[in-house]
Amino acid sequence: MVIKEAMRLHSPVPFIQRILTADTEIDGKTAPAGTLVNCVLYNIHHNPAVWPDSLKFDPNRFLPENVEKRHPYSFVPFSAGPRNCIGQNFAMDEIKIILARILHRVNIRLDPDHKVEKLESVVMRAKNDIRLFVSERQ
């Protein structure tokens, strides 16, 4: 739940693109086949109609009873459908293993005096570094 909420707040891939294969109606307007469509995942993951208090970190959003109330495409950090990321299961397993190994050995906390600025590019990243305090676990 914590990893998913972190990925919702800080979408690793800020947008995806698709080319329409057929004329498609979107909000009462027709986009013809061949149109390049940008899906801004960051906006989907911060839509206040789906995610109340969308800037707040709340892992409980991913409790099973909350997930079943939402549209399946309201959280798509690896895209969705037939062209989603083929490595998403591997990536999630890798994240869990690496985090568990790191957090077993050290305590980590953000520098409260440093505001991280996001830089949107092919992948979301920090524009001005992420400052952490790291200490060995006793």
Instruction: Give dist(CA 137, CA 135) in Å, integer.
Output: 6
93-102: list long-range contacts, CB under 8 Å, 24+ apart.
95/3, 96/3, 99/3
Helix axes 2-9, 88-105, angle to 10 degrees: 110
Q: Which residues pair with 53 in a beta bridge?
A: none
Instruction: Say whether 85 counts as a known binding-site residue.
Output: yes
In the annotated binding site for heme, the residues are 85
- Residues of the binding site: 85
